[in-house]
Amino acid sequence: MDSGQISGEKKKSPPIKVLSSQLREGKDSRLNGKLEFNIKRLGQLKNTALVVSVVWMQGTILEVRSDHNTVLLLDETGTFVVNGVNNIPKGNPCLLQGNYVMVMGMIQALSPEPVLRAVKMADLSERAAIHRKMWKLEVEDLQQTLT
């Protein structure tokens, strides 16, 4: 059996923690018909690009668009848009301006600002101060650990 296959299904990569600025500065590429994105790693140890398609991001909700299916978020490096929040479990309860949330999603676009299609969303507002403070360190640590 091919190492990229598990019981007939292609192995999916886990979400990679990223900042919005990394996506904004990234480049898109197609590999075997799959759209992927090359981003610069955070940190000094490894300077090779990371290839991502599914990401984990965190930020504060700046705006819930009138369709209630799209939100504008802000992390420490800029804004990003998340579409499809009505299609995920527990997405709606955390859709309040000012909430600090975690989003996992598929990248749809890099510029002028990153756009994700939500897969999972969770409210982190209860401990927002610690989550905000630790986020960039978590992103850098993970990116330096990945091969």
- So what's the pLDDT on residue 31? 72
Beta bridge partners of 106: 54, 117
pLDDT digits (tens, 9 = 90+) for 95-134: 899 999 999 999 999 989 999 999 999 999 999 999 999 9
More confident call, 66 vs 52 = 52
Which residue has 């949330």 as its token pair? 101
pTM of the model: 0.86
Omega before 112 cis (within 30°)? yes
Lowest mean pLDDT among 1-10, 15-24, 44-53, 125-134: 1-10
On the question of pLDDT at 1 being above 50, the answer is no
Q: Give the pairing type, strands 100-109 and 54-64.
A: antiparallel
Rounded to whole angstroms, the Cα distance separating 22 from 113 reads 11
On the question of pLDDT at 3 being above 50, the answer is no
pLDDT digits (tens, 9 = 90+) for 57-102: 999 999 999 888 999 999 999 999 999 998 887 656 788 999 999 9
What order do you get walking across the sheet with 34-40 strand by strand? Answer: 27-31, 34-40, 49-52
pLDDT digits (tens, 9 = 90+) for 11-35: 567 899 999 999 999 998 877 777 8
